[in-house]
Amino acid sequence: MASDLFRARRVAPSILSADFARLGAQVDEVMGAGARVIHVDVMDGHFVPPITIGPLIVSALADRVHSAGGALDVHLMIERPEGHVAEFAKAGADGITIHAEATPHLHYTLAEIRAAGCGAGIAICPGTHPLLLAEVAEDTLDLALCMSVNPGWGGQQFIEPSLGKLTRMREALPADVVLEVDGGINQDTAPQCVAAGANLLVAGSAVFGAKDPAAAYTALAAAAGAI
Ligand code: DX5
Ligand code: ZN
């Protein structure tokens, strides 16, 4: 995929819980502590109730993140994402993840993401069976994202059956497909997700909700055995 940074075991801080009035400085703080994958949550007010951010913010962060050796992991919680792939790629996304529940055209959209030069991912909600990933796994999939909360908000509690789901996904997916988990990741749940087979751990409130995001990142990465 576009960025090999996604393949290692890493904690990916989600800027959803950052202080947006000082977003650049907050990203610098976690990258200074070693973070290299920055997770960007895009919500449209339709697929999920909240509206968050769009390509302008991706573009505003892209140079800063890339020049520090990092990558932008863009999680699209939007309906019919196929109409928006090009603008996020142009804004500087390195990986673009769409929701399985948000379009009937998964194969087409994944191919569109790859053609735009980005890694192509599919996220599934807690109520979605991972079986459909098998249909695209060999062909067009770089990353699978298991939501361990219902998408839309930071700070929710980890849904325990996600651990079994991660294990099943890891077993079913080709070895080179990144397995990401998102929601309720903290020092307790992170090592459990790693044991279940996840390698990319998204953390929002556990990092940016802390008084010292850099220290929180370092502690979480250590708990997960991440680099
Ligand atoms: C939720 C988002 C997450 C969110 C996670 O819909 O996809 O990336 O930032 O937040 P925490 O880590 O607080 O559960
Ligand atoms: Zn996310």
What's the CA-to-centroid distance between 172 and ligand 2, angstroms? 22
Which H or E run includes 77?
Answer: strand 71-77
Percent pLDDT > 70 in the chain is 99
| 1 pLDDT more than 70 | no
Q: Give the pLDDT mean for 105-119.
A: 97
What does the block give as tokens for 1? 């995929």
pLDDT per position as a tens digit, 134-178? 999 988 999 999 999 999 999 999 999 999 999 999 999 999 999
Query: Over the chain, what is the mean pLDDT?
Result: 97
Q: Give the pLDDT mean for 68-90.
A: 98
Task: Reduce the DSSP state of residue 40 to 3 states and report it.
Answer: strand
The CATH H-level (homologous superfamily) assignment of domain 4-224 is Aldolase class I (3.20.20.70)
Residue 188 falls in the annotated catalytic set: no
What does the block give as tokens for 46? 């339709």
What residues pack around ion ligand 2 (CB closer than 5 A)?
41, 75, 182
Instruction: Outline where 6-130 has alpha helix (H).
Output: 23-32, 55-67, 85-91, 106-115
pTM: 0.98
The residue contributing the CA closest to ligand 1 atom 6 is: 151
The residue contributing the CA closest to ligand 1 atom 10 is: 154
| 65 pLDDT more than 90 | yes
User: What span, in angstroms and rounded, lies between the C-alpha atoms of 98 and 102?
Assistant: 7
User: What span, in angstroms and rounded, lies between the C-alpha atoms of 190 and 198?
Assistant: 9
Placement of tokens 């075991």 in the chain: 9
